[in-house]
């Protein structure tokens, strides 16, 4: 495969929901289309607690082989990307606006939906053939090699096989009544079914960094443009949408250009599933877990002040800032 060069990029979608311009844009859309705020527009989906700097810093520190880090955003700039940021770091971090990836489809904007945005990320100008897609609530924890994501001519996938979600009478009724839930598992199942409609299972991936080949998504888009355009047309998450990363994963599976690995491990923390004390204990135990390379703290804004302060101290000590990740000092 000629597409397997040594260049690997990282793509991170990010938004600061507290930005008055972004909040105003979201409220203007909601005011036109909804009588009450839907779950898909909950503030936690757009909250920024400073995760983006530690996410980027972790890539720079623990995956120095990454060529460029593309931050996909909506006319925003993270606080750490100020005028004092050293040029050596500035050259490796590229802001990409939604209008850049929706070029030709600007009528679909504004968008507040990661599934819609992910439908277009392969259109990032200058994006390498191989890239790693990760959310801003993720971080690398220790030195991680390229082979964790791309090995020879194969994409390294991680996940568990689960039964494909089929349409039922009950689900159809809920969809007609507008009561269907847009779950992550359903979006993954829909993505797998686009590739292999007759399959009875799909690879359910966790909340981790995902290796993707740009050409895999691009070729599928060329063959089925209406699928991706429809998927990108929902300003808020919708039960009918598929997860584009699942499409990429299952295309690699279909082409036998994949390898499944159960290592390295990851730690997933969520205030919806654990108490602050449980999350603090899990963080404190991380240094002793050599096999754990990735950390996700989802909905940090809902974790409370106690955990937030502990998390902030922990990532500052164990990951550091963007500048310190490359040995730079703002002072």
**Two structure tokens written together for 2:** 């000629």
Residues 6+ apart with CB under 8 A from 212: 122, 130, 131, 132, 133, 155, 245, 248
What integer is the mean pLDDT of 197-215? Answer: 96
What single-letter DSSP state applies at residue 165?
Answer: P
Instruction: Tell whether the model's pLDDT for residue 327 goes beyond 90.
Output: no
pLDDT at 178: 63
pLDDT averaged over the chain? Answer: 91
Q: Quick one: average pLDDT of 206-235?
A: 97
At what angle are helices 276-285 and 305-318 packed, to 10 degrees? 10
pLDDT (mean) for 26-44: 76
pLDDT (0 to 100) of residue 5: 64
Q: Quote the distance between the C-alpha of residue 263 and its chain's center.
A: 19
Instruction: Give the pLDDT band of residue 6 (cuts 50, 70, 90).
Output: confident
Q: What is the structure's pLDDT at 331?
A: 37
All residues at 6 or more sequence positions from 112 whose CB lies less than 8 Å from its CB, including other chains: 15, 26, 29, 41, 45, 46, 235, 236
The residues, any chain, with a CB within 8 Å of residue 113's CB and separated by 6 or more, are: 40, 234, 235, 236, 237, 238, 241
Is pLDDT above 90 for 179?
A: no
DSSP labels for 193-258?
A: HHH-TT-SEEEE--SS-EEEEHHHHHHHHHH-HHHHHHHTT-SS--TT---HHHHHHHHHHHTT-E
Is the confidence at residue 196, as pLDDT, over 90? Answer: yes
> Which residue, among 136, 96, 139, 93, has the nearest Cα to 120 in the 3D structure?
96
Order the strands of the 150-151 sheet from edge to edge. Answer: 150-151, 154-157, 258-260
CA angle (160, 112, 131) in 5-degree steps? 50
| pLDDT tens digits for range 266-286 | 999 999 999 999 999 999 999
Band of the pLDDT at 172, cuts 50, 70, 90?
Answer: low
pLDDT band at 171 (very low <50, low <70, confident <90, very high): low
**What span, in angstroms and rounded, lies between the C-alpha atoms of 259 and 99?**
34
Domain boundaries along the sequence of the chain? 8-323
Taking residues 209-234, report their average pLDDT: 97
pLDDT digits (tens, 9 = 90+) for 292-313: 999 999 999 999 999 999 999 9
More confident residue, 46 or 326: 46
As given in the structure block, the two tokens for residue 99 are 């209008």
Note the pLDDT tens digit of each residue in 99-144: 999 999 999 999 999 999 999 999 999 999 999 999 999 999 999 9
Query: Pick from 224, 205, 217: which is nearest to 247 by CA?
Result: 217
Most confident of 14-28, 34-48, 235-249: 235-249
In CATH, what class is 8-323?
alpha beta
pLDDT at 214 over 70: yes
pLDDT at residue 235 in the model: 95
pLDDT digits (tens, 9 = 90+) for 236-248: 999 999 999 999 9
b/e code 215-229 from CB counts within 10 Å (16+ = b): ebbeebbeeeeebbe
**Residue-level pLDDT at 81:** 94
Mean pLDDT of 10-20: 94
**Band of the pLDDT at 1, cuts 50, 70, 90?**
very low
pLDDT of res. 2: 39
């Amino acid at each position: 495969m000629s597409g397997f060069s040594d260049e690997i990029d990282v793509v991170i979608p990010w938004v600061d929901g507290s930005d008055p311009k972004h909040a105003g844009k979201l409220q203007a859309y909601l005011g036109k289309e909804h009588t009450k705020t839907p779950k898909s527009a909950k503030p936690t989906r757009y909250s920024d607690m400073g995760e983006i700097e530690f996410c980027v810093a972790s890539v720079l520190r623990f995956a120095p082989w990454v060529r460029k880090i593309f931050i996909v955003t909506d006319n925003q700039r993270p606080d750490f990307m100020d005028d004092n940021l050293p040029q050596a770091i500035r050259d490796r971090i590229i802001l990409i606006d939604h209008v850049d990836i929706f070029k030709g489809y600007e009528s679909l904007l504004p968008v507040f939906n990661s599934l819609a945005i992910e439908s277009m990320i392969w259109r990032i100008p200058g994006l390498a053939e191989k890239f790693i897609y990760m959310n801003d609530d993720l971080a690398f924890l220790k030195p991680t090699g390229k082979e964790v994501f791309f090995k020879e001519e194969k994409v390294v996938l991680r996940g568990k096989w689960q039964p494909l979600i089929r349409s039922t009478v009950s689900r159809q009724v809920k969809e007609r009544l507008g009561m269907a839930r847009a779950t992550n598992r359903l979006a993954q199942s829909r993505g797998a079914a686009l590739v292999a409609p007759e399959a009875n299972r799909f690879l359910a991936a966790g909340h981790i960094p995902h290796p993707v080949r740009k050409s895999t998504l691009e070729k599928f888009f060329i063959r089925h443009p209406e699928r991706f355009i429809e998927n990108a047309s929902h300003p808020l998450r919708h039960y009918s949408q598929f997860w584009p990363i699942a499409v990429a994963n299952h295309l690699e599976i279909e082409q036998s250009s994949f390898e499944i690995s159960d290592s390295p491990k990851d730690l997933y923390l969520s205030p919806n599933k654990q108490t602050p004390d449980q999350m603090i204990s899990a963080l404190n135990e991380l240094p002793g877990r050599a096999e754990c390379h990735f950390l996700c703290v989802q909905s940090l804004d809902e974790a409370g002040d106690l955990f937030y302060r502990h998390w902030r101290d922990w990532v500052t000590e164990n990951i550091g800032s963007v500048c310190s990740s490359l040995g730079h000092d703002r002072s």
